[in-house]
């Protein structure tokens, strides 16, 4: 299930000299990309998975499956008329989700990304690691955290802001950059410049805007990528090398474990010093509070260890990789016709490798930066979006994989989720 998409990369917004250089893997100006729809839906699920959430809900899976009906039958990427007529709130959620999943899918294939972190989690975890607290990023406006921070094969960190909408290219351009009523610059180009990273770890600083077209209406969907310059809000340029990548590695591990159903373990990794990612190391707290804080952390670690050794998890294979995780089989609410074939059921699997579980049990529940224990290499091997007919797959390194398979027969009218 492939849809074509126009991509415009404005190379004039990159610095004329110095870092970051225009990526050799980017094509300046207008080009095209084949969007793999099924893996992109899996990617949306992972991008929107919180590191600290607990519990298992089928709604996590339905969030991906319902968007199958949002993509029209056109050869290029367009929203179906039914979904274009949703109320404003629902249209905004759809636009935001596709505005993340589609650009990030393109960047995965072009920048060699290996791990990821929500921008807000990155700033919260950095606040716990550096001396003195960092200001809390706002939820919107010029001081909002960027959407994501990614790591690539070389260890470079890429700051990415994503926007999505259905109101046309002009509205998309305003999302990327505009001026507030107070005369302050706002939009994606400001938010992605909030963080100044160490020079040798600084990757791309990107703002991506997806304009979604509707089936039967004039004009195509298109993705615009820019790199304009604004002064940074938070200076992390002197942060130690073992520290600067820790939030990205922890986030990647937590998202993988959360997706596989290990919510307690994901929470213990994402916030190793307390209930919040901003919690400072226990030894830095006043002596009178250390015992109570240690009890909280020990309880979380005990819950994580119990979860990882419990026999309830499902084992399965995606490709040639043996995984431990969870599986859902669900009857589609309405038969789905794609390229002449009608599908009535979806199977979704998500899992991590047994080796990753062993590594986390050994060293992953410690407070210090994970690079100190070698777990920073857990996600290496790169991310990949794979599509094969009615099957889609998302891989994160050699340690996590997610798969969706559409089947023509409905099978038993039941759904299951494990663990």
Whether the pTM exceeds 0.85: the reply is yes
Question: Distance between CA 209 and CA 191 in Å, rounded?
Answer: 13
Answer for the pair 225, 208: CB distance below 8 angstroms, yes or no.
yes
Q: Is 39 left (phi over 0), alpha (psi -120 to 50) or beta?
A: alpha
The rounded distance, in Å, linking the Cα atoms of 293 and 274 is 7
Cα separation of 201 and 392, whole Å?
Answer: 32
pLDDT in tens, the chain (419 residues): 899 999 999 999 888 877 788 999 999 999 999 999 999 999 998 888 777 765 555 556 666 778 889 999 999 999 999 888 888 888 888 899 999 999 999 999 899 998 899 988 999 999 898 876 666 665 555 566 788 999 998 889 999 999 998 888 888 888 787 555 554 555 555 454 567 888 889 899 899 999 999 999 999 999 999 986 656 777 888 888 888 989 998 999 999 999 898 999 999 999 999 888 888 888 888 888 899 999 999 999 999 999 988 876 789 999 889 999 999 898 988 899 888 899 999 999 999 999 999 888 887 688 888 865 555 455 456 899 999 999 999 998 888 999 999 999 866 544 444 44
CB 104 within 8 A of CB 162: yes
pLDDT at 306: 92
Distances (CA, A) of 246 to 186, 255, 268, 274, 373: 28, 14, 14, 16, 11
> Cα dihedral sign for 276, 242, 383, 9?
positive
Gap between the Cα atoms of 240 and 191, Å rounded: 23
CA distances (Å), origin 164, targets 75, 397, 418: 20, 27, 33
113/264 Cα distance (integer angstroms): 26
Instruction: Count Cβ atoms below 10 Å from residue 292 Cβ, excluding itself.
Output: 10
CA distance linking residue 108 with residue 101, whole number of Å: 10
Task: 12-19: list long-range contacts, CB under 8 Å, 24+ apart.
Answer: 13/226, 13/227, 13/228, 14/227, 15/227, 15/229, 19/199, 19/202
* Eight-class DSSP state of 230: -
What sign has the CA pseudo-torsion 215, 223, 154, 118?
A: negative
């Amino acid at each position: 299930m492939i849809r074509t998409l126009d991509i415009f990369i404005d190379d004039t917004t990159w610095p004329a000299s110095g870092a970051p250089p225009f990526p050799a893997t980017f094509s300046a100006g207008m080009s095209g990309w084949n969007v793999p729809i099924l893996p992109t839906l899996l990617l949306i699920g992972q991008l929107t998975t919180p590191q600290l959430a607990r519990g298992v809900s089928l709604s996590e899976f339905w969030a991906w499956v319902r968007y199958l009906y949002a993509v029209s039958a056109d050869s290029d990427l367009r929203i179906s008329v039914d979904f274009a007529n949703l109320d404003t709130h629902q249209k905004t959620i759809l636009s935001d989700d596709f505005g993340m999943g589609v650009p990030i899918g393109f960047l995965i294939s072009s920048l060699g990304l290996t791990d990821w972190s929500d921008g807000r989690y990155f700033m919260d975890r950095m606040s716990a690691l550096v001396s003195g607290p960092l200001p809390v990023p706002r939820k919107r406006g010029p001081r909002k955290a960027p959407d994501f921070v990614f790591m690539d094969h070389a260890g470079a960190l890429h700051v990415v802001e994503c926007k999505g909408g259905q109101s046309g290219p002009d509205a998309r351009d305003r999302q990327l950059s505009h001026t507030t009523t107070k005369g302050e610059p706002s939009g994606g180009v400001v938010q992605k410049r909030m963080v100044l990273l160490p020079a040798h770890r600084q990757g791309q600083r990107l703002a991506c805007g997806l304009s979604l077209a509707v089936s039967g209406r004039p004009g195509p969907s298109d993705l615009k990528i820019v790199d304009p310059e604004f002064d940074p809000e938070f200076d992390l340029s002197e942060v130690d090398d073992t520290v600067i990548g820790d939030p990205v590695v922890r986030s990647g591990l937590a998202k993988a474990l959360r997706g596989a159903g290990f919510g307690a373990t994901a929470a213990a990794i994402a916030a190793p010093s307390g209930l919040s990612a901003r919690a400072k190391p226990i030894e830095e707290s006043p002596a009178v509070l250390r015992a109570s804080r240690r009890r909280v952390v020990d309880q979380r670690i005990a819950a994580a260890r119990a979860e990882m050794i419990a026999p309830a998890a499902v084992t399965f294979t995606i490709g040639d990789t043996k995984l431990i995780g969870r599986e859902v089989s669900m009857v589609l609410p309405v038969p789905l016709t794609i390229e002449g074939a009608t599908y009535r059921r979806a199977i979704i699997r998500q899992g991590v490798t047994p080796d990753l579980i062993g590594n986390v049990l050994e060293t992953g529940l410690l407070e210090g930066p994970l690079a100190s224990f070698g777990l920073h290499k857990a996600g290496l091997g790169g991310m990949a979006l794979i599509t094969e007919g009615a099957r889609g797959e998302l891989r994160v390194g050699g340690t996590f994989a997610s798969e969706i398979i559409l089947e023509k027969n409905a099978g038993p009218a039941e759904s299951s989720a494990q663990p």
